[in-house]
Structure 1
Amino acid sequence: MLVPTTARADDYDWLNNWPTHVQFNDGTDLGLVLRYQYDVNDFSHDDGKFTDSHTNRRKYLGFYVKKPGVYDATVYYDFQSKQWQDAFFRLQSQALFGQDFGAIRFGQSKTPVSFEGVTTSTQTTFIELALPSQAIYENRRIGIDWAILRTHWLASLGYYGENMEGKNPGHTVAARAAWVPIHAPGHVLHLGLAASQERPHGLVDALGVQQPATTSFKTPPEAGLTTVTLISSGTLTGVDHINRQGLEGLWIDGPWSIQSEYLQTQTTFNNGKPNYDINGFYTYGTWVVTGESRQYHDGNVSNVIPSHPWGAVEFALRYSELDLNDGRVFGGKEHDWTAGANWYLGTHLRLQANYIWAFSDRRGLVINPHVFELRAEVFI
């Protein structure tokens, strides 16, 4: 007979050990990918521009298979947006050459410019990405990339085309590198940079005529249940290429952390128009009041793992800024303050609350909405 000892989070199997995968004798792991998010967005001080909403945000379903040190593959689909998400196969060089020269990945995956953008949506500190991340991040594309990870540094290089929906035709070359001089549980210093060049292709219309390449940069006020934007570049035509750059930093010291990122983009045109340059940044701090730390592995952050049976509680404060004015393009300026709280219930459940104070100015039109957001999510 077992005698109960002091309760630990690991003792609560219903919170942590869900039967969602099976392991075989050779180490192969086959499992389920599930992500469900239900959001509430309530707007105020918005001059009637926004509509309150409460509905599903994401409904991911998919599968993965992996053999540690050899390969891994995953495919999943978002039934809410009706779009394919990650769908790739990755092979470790260790399995081929007996030495680790990195991993090669084929398929659809995230492009690397935006530290916050490449973080899985169930692992981000705030409900939505910051202003510059939403406007500048290129998102997922089909391609091939190489990545190598070491304890104190990492690097990647990739070539990408359009996505699995056949949108965003063209191609992108991208790279990312980071130095991690401090890398220990609960103590991390990560300093990185990323860059890419996208060369978009114009679409062929119904008459078979080739149209010029276009792009646009815009973002809602860090709210995911609206398509209303306070600032926008509008549609830019005759695009030749788009250069993106990012600088990223992360510091974790026990229950405290600071994360920041600067993003900029230069769009060039083939019709003689001057370049269009935009930039933005965000910075935020977090405090896990229950004493745990944010997790860090493989060059990215992940959720707090509770050490208490009733979970872990985290508070966060973020400032973000985006400037879409340049030359004759008056896209507007916006900066947001976001206060957030997260309650981690085991390793598969999380409740989030955010309050956003947005401040925008586009062509003299000033709109400063407040947004109250809630999210309940389940993830595997």
Structure 2
Amino acid sequence: MTPLRRDSTATAPRRLAVALGLWLGLGVAGCCHADDYDFYSNWPTHVTASDGTDFGLAVLYQYDVNQFSNDDGKFEDASTNRRRYLGLYLRKPGVYDAIAQYDFQAKQWADAFVRFRSGGVIGKDIGNFRFGYSKTPVGFEGVTSSSATTFVETALPTQAVWEGRRAGVDWAWIRSHFILNIGDYFWRKDFDGNNPGRTWAGRAAWVPLNKPGEVLHLGISASREKLDWADEGTVPPSARLRARPEDGLSPVRLVDSGTLSYSKAVDRQGFEALWIEGPWSLQGEYLQAQVERYKGKPDYDTQGYYVFGTWTLTGESRFYSDGNVADRRYNGRDLQAIRPTHAWGALEVAVRYSELDLNDGAITGGKEHDWTVGLNWYLGEHLKFQANYVWAFSDRGNLQVNPHIFEMRAQVYF
């Protein structure tokens, strides 16, 4: 992560308030100058041809504020840009979509792929084929778009187990009540020159209920990452599993396996569930990972889970499509998890519990469980504001640190 800009506890919220004021001012101006123009959803950031082909900018900007207390002086308040994605996309609904997007904050690629829907290309639906750099499927929260997460940061087990993005090819079979996704991420290093090796992954889901405002999704996922290094014989391959206390700006990890040298492979499994009924929803996932090692080193196992519930005070439902929340992969652009039906937006409250155990044998990676409450304000399709409060409880050997974290985020997305 790039160096953080530290602000006083007074300055950071003030900057967030200024940003909020500017965006609201623009919204009022837009509404006042054109009765038939909807500022909150109709931004001139793309062009659509008569045949439906859509070309435009792909932008995600997030500004975060993190404030810590009850932390024994181990954390420092911070505020900075969390993500600065900039890219281009080209889509023809039902036929293909392509995107190339770079995160100028982390200085690494985000999504960069081309995907074809066979029904629109060859006239027969045998699945959808994607080539390039994209998210691996083990981790329901990880697969969810970074612009559409319910909480400011992903849960503890998602941080530790989800592999992230890899380069290769994957195939998806999408049906109303069944989803199958298989990927071979064969690129020896990813687009940033990191994570050498190869991963095979799969995900399957049964969706017995699948209509707007009424969803039941039950899924499983698994992957095997075979570790490898470009300079074989110089540095032994290693793995490492760790998590921040559900904040994104501090480098401190309260639970950490440490470097697991002489690691041969990492196996990951996930069991996921989602229920949506009108303005209510429940989501949960159990994740586990096993690190296979050699040179007489013991194998390493870890596991964790999270569960959260949401309630949209303004009555809207979370949007579900193609096996995920807020994802219209083939029929249009990705949108917010909640589509506001009121001029002043939609309000969502959420509560999450997450737990992660990184202890195994002689390795004392630590245990942690967190409680998080959140409030999300969706202003149309492109603006979102989030506030979270996290109670973290960690135990690693003789060290116990239980920080409280207040987080705010302002987001622009299109």
TM-score, structure 2 as length reference? 0.87
Task: Decide which structure has greater helix share.
Answer: 2
Equivalent of 1:194 in 212, 217, 221: 221
Q: Give the C-alpha shift of residue 203 in structure 1.
A: 4.6
Matched ranges for 1:198-277 at <5 A: 198-204=225-231, 209-277=233-301
2:392 aligned partner, one-letter code: A
Instruction: Verify: 1:148 aligned to 2:173, yes or no.
Output: yes
Matched ranges for 1:85-100 at <5 A: 85-100=110-125
Matched ranges for 1:3-82 at <5 A: 13-82=38-107
Deviations 1:49-98 (A, max 9, x none): 00000111011110100112221100100111111110001111113431
For 2:41 and 2:241, the matched residues in 1 are separated by: 40
1:167 aligned partner, one-letter code: N
Instruction: Verify: 1:116 aligned to 2:141, yes or no.
Output: yes
Which has the larger displacement, 195-204 or 31-40?
195-204
1:7 is matched with: none
Identical aligned residues as a percent: 59
For 1:294 and 1:24, the matched residues in 2 are separated by: 29
Deviations 1:290-312 (A, max 9, x none): 11100001110121101100000
Deviations 1:221-271 (A, max 9, x none): 000001110010000011111100000000000000000000000111121
Instruction: Verify: 1:296 aligned to 2:320, yes or no.
Output: yes
8 Å CA contact 1:39, 1:55 repeated in 2: yes
For 2:36 and 2:246, the matched residues in 1 are separated by: 37
8 Å CA contact 1:203, 1:212 repeated in 2: no
Structure 1 SS opposite 2:39? helix
Equivalent of 1:365 in 383, 399, 412: 399
Structure 2 SS opposite 1:50? coil
For 1:11 and 1:155, the matched residues in 2 are separated by: 42
Change (3 A) 1:12 1:356: farther
8 Å CA contact 1:259, 1:284 repeated in 2: yes
Give unpaired runs (5+ residues) of structure 2: 1-34, 327-336
Give unpaired runs (5+ residues) of structure 1: 1-9
For 1:165 and 1:57, the matched residues in 2 are separated by: 19
1:86 aligned partner, one-letter code: D
Instruction: Verify: 1:180 aligned to 2:228, yes or no.
Output: no
Task: Decide which structure has greater strand share.
Answer: 1
8 Å CA contact 1:203, 1:213 repeated in 2: no
Structure 1 SS opposite 2:292? strand
Q: Give the C-alpha shift of residue 23 in structure 1.
A: 1.2
8 Å CA contact 1:203, 1:210 repeated in 2: no
Q: Give the C-alpha shift of residue 157 in structure 1.
A: 0.4
8 Å CA contact 1:232, 1:324 repeated in 2: yes
Equivalent of 1:341 in 375, 394, 403: 375
For 2:99 and 2:244, the matched residues in 1 are separated by: 30
1:374 is matched with: 408
For 1:92 and 1:324, the matched residues in 2 are separated by: 40
Q: Give the C-alpha shift of residue 275 in structure 1.
A: 1.5
Instruction: Verify: 1:353 aligned to 2:387, yes or no.
Output: yes
1:245 aligned partner, one-letter code: Q
8 Å CA contact 1:242, 1:266 repeated in 2: yes
Structure 1 SS opposite 2:157? helix
Equivalent of 1:312 in 346, 356, 366: 346
